Amino acid sequence: MKKLFTIDDLMISFITALGYGLSFEIPKNLGLPAWLCVVICLVIGVSLEGIVAKILFSKLVQKNTLNKVITFITFILIFLAGEYISVWLIGVSMLESLLGDYVYRIGIPVIGFMISMLIRWYRIRKIRKLYGDGSKGYIFNVTKEDIEEVNQQNKPIFGEYDTDCAVKTRTGIYVGEKHKSIIFYLGIPYAKPPVGELRWKAPEPLPSSNAVFEAKNFGASAIQLEQKGSIVKHHRQSEDCLSLNICVASKKSELKKPVLVLFHHGSFTHGGSVDPLLYGDNFVEKHNDIVFVSFNYRLGIFGFIDFSEVPGGEDYPDTLNLGLLDQIMALKWIKENIAAFGGDPNRITVIGFEAGAISICMLAASAQAKNLFKKAFAFNCNITAAYNTTDGPRALARDLLKETQTKTMAELLQLKTETLKNAAQKLWRNLCGPTCDGILIPTDVYSAYHDGAASGIEFIIGIPSNETQVFHSILGDQKYRDLVSVAIDDMKNYIDDSVLNAIQEYINTQKASSTELEAKSKILEQLIALSIYRCAAKLSEGGSKVYLMYWNEKPLIENLGSGTVDVVATLLGNSTASQIYGNVMNTNLSDTLQSLLEKFINGNALQLYNNEIKGINAITWNTFPQALIISDEKIQCDTIEDKLTTIKSFLEFALQ
């Protein structure tokens, strides 16, 4: 994908070489001192180079091949005319200047490329030494000092404070902290703590307040499963977890900026905004016209369970989707208060990955989330992961009672947080995600999309090609084996017999060259990809503008996979986090995808010309069914149905 220099760069040399050469030789022949000749040469040469580049990289020239060719020919003719006049009038050829300009334009990129390759080689060597073949999943070198630093807590402020970093909202005054050109506001509560009598209750808005608080440290992460490959397990956890983080450029602006709100991933059982993958400072530093927000929401048994069969459960009617209700409350707080941070409450874009993406797609169909966001970027939004009946969440409640030796809601409410967390660890196979309850979320989300439930929202829908290996890296070997087996067995409940027979035949064929687990993993991967593709298709049918992305980048270490983790790091420019998770980020690809994301957020056409990106050709991202295909070799826009599955009947069934 990397190009050291392009024909556009070389064509600019024809005119700039002429400018540099003549603006030095003519003053020299007029008898001006050498230093002045150099000054004139630089001033005129640099100015002319800027003008020529502006002409060549204009949309008029770049969008049309014929216009580009005409411009190239014109540049060459101007150079030849200048060369003739130069030789005729002052006896000096500009060919030497042209050669010098070519050496400059080719030599510097080559040197820079070699240096960057050496740095990349060193980082890859370091990662391979740490991870080996990657079969042990993600490895985090977290020190005691790291944990102590990230686990500091915000405190009330009663005296003087830094007014330059203070923002007044309806719910309080929050004093952030400046780092270089960015101000962070971390750990801001967006709802009342869901503890005590509010445990398993819908989130309640905070009262108005003029109190002053620090906003320098992340709020506690939600109580969660201690997954082997989750770095968030090292962060302090609490039921009091409903907080958000805001990242803005320190330079003030009169114009209100669009807002990007990130929903974290983690299978609705783990994860949180403290994960280094999800930091927004690198993105905001490059795109300081955008306000970045991330937040936490309730997970596992605290966020997705059904107590309707438990004595006293009738007083807790919202437990099926408390995590989604938290997300809605966070969006409402943002819409109400983000203007104080320089954001535009009418230009909110949401972005999510895996569980975060599923959440976004659920809310897009929910009447209660109407008008809370205008645009959505959802990567790996497998909405079939949502429950279509309450059987699972009710069974989870029964298992929780049995595990904790309780019989009523009153007894459950008396249990300590740690007791409930330990119970959840033992019930990890049974933990649930959102349920299509017909109240908050339509019972058939696909049909709701088709009928226009999300028609006012513009989407980017992302499909991974190697996500199952990422699951394996997070969960560990045994948990992954169990979940793959359960997922394949569950297919029997909703897939036609003819398709099941085709799937079994595929597994039997694949077992000849790989293990049964690998064969089943490929089926699961195809099922997820088809579910996401169907989501995009139904949204498009319902009137939404949909852009499709297909992530087909090869992982640095095969056993770690390439999907959610790499896409998050690449989109947000978090190269350090990418290395923590066993990869070395492609900076050219990161710049390109960030540029496209910025255009999406700002409502501009998803087009990139050669002057806007480095290392690849111009891009025009067409709407569904076209997809932006991202691979190691190139980025291109094309259809992808043939890439999603090798089982024809599976494709036909999934896209019904």
Tens digit of pLDDT for each residue in 418-430? 999 999 999 988 8
Fold of 144-654: Rossmann fold (3.40.50)
d(CA 44, CA 22): 9
**Spatial separation of the C-alpha atoms in residues 477 and 474, rounded to whole Å:** 9
- Which 3 state secondary structure label does DSSP give 256? coil
Instruction: Return all residues near 168 (Cβ < 8 A) that are at least 6 apart.
Output: 210, 340
Question: What is the model's pLDDT at position 616?
Answer: 56
User: What pTM was estimated for this model as a whole?
Assistant: 0.88
274-291 pLDDT, tens digit per residue, is: 999 999 999 999 999 999
- Are 434 and 364 in contact, with CB atoms under 8 Å apart? no
Rounded CA separation 395/305 (Å) = 9
Question: Tell me: the pLDDT tens digits for 554-588?
Answer: 999 988 988 899 999 999 999 999 999 999 998 88
Predicted confidence (pLDDT) at residue 475 exceeds the cutoff of 70: yes
Query: Model confidence at 110, in pLDDT bands (50, 70, 90)?
Result: confident
H or E stretch at 551: strand 546-552
Whether the predicted pLDDT of 1 surpasses 50: no
Cα separation, 258 vs 72, in Å, equals 38
**Mean pLDDT, residues 31-41:** 89
Q: Which tops the pLDDT comparison, 145 or 85?
A: 85
Tokens at 577, concatenated = 């986090």
Mean pLDDT of 520-525: 88
pLDDT class of 137 with cuts at 50, 70, 90: confident
pLDDT at 446 over 90: yes
**445, 433 contact by CB (below 8 A):** no
pLDDT digits (tens, 9 = 90+) for 54-65: 888 777 787 777
Q: Which of 103, 95, 107, 75 is nearest to 21 (CA)?
A: 95
C-beta neighbour count of 322 within 10 angstroms: 24
Bigger pLDDT: 2 vs 334:
334
How many whole angstroms separate alpha carbon 616 and alpha carbon 4? 9
pLDDT at 29 over 70: yes
Neighbours of 118 (CB within 10 A): 10
Tell me the pLDDT of the chain averaged across its residues: 90
pLDDT of 58: 77
Residues 6+ apart with CB under 8 A from 166: 173, 174, 175, 176, 212
DSSP for 304-355, written as a single string = S---TTSTTGGG-TTGGGHHHHHHHHHHHHHHHHGGGGTEEEEEEEEEEETH
Give the pLDDT of residue 487. 82
Counting residues of the chain whose pLDDT is more than 70, the rounded percentage is 97
Q: Is the pLDDT of residue 353 over 70?
A: yes
CA 443 – CA 452 distance, rounded (Å):
15
Longest alpha-carbon distance in the chain: 102
Once rounded to an integer, what is the mean pLDDT over residues 499-510?
83
Backbone phi, psi, residue 404, to 5°? -95, 0
Q: What is the pLDDT of residue 37?
A: 87
Please give the share of the chain, as a percent, with pLDDT higher than 90: 56
Q: 170 pLDDT exceeds 80?
A: yes
Please state, in angstroms and rounded to a whole number, the distance separating the CA atoms of residues 204 and 207: 9
DSSP secondary-structure letter at 51?
A: H
CA-to-CA distance for 151 and 218, rounded, in angstroms?
Answer: 8
CB contact set of 44 (below 8 Å; sequence gap of 6+): 19, 20, 23
Q: 610 Cβ partners below 8 Å, 6+ apart?
A: 6, 8, 57, 62, 617, 618
Q: Is the pLDDT assigned to residue 173 strictly greater than 80?
A: yes
The domain limits of the chain are 7-121, 144-654
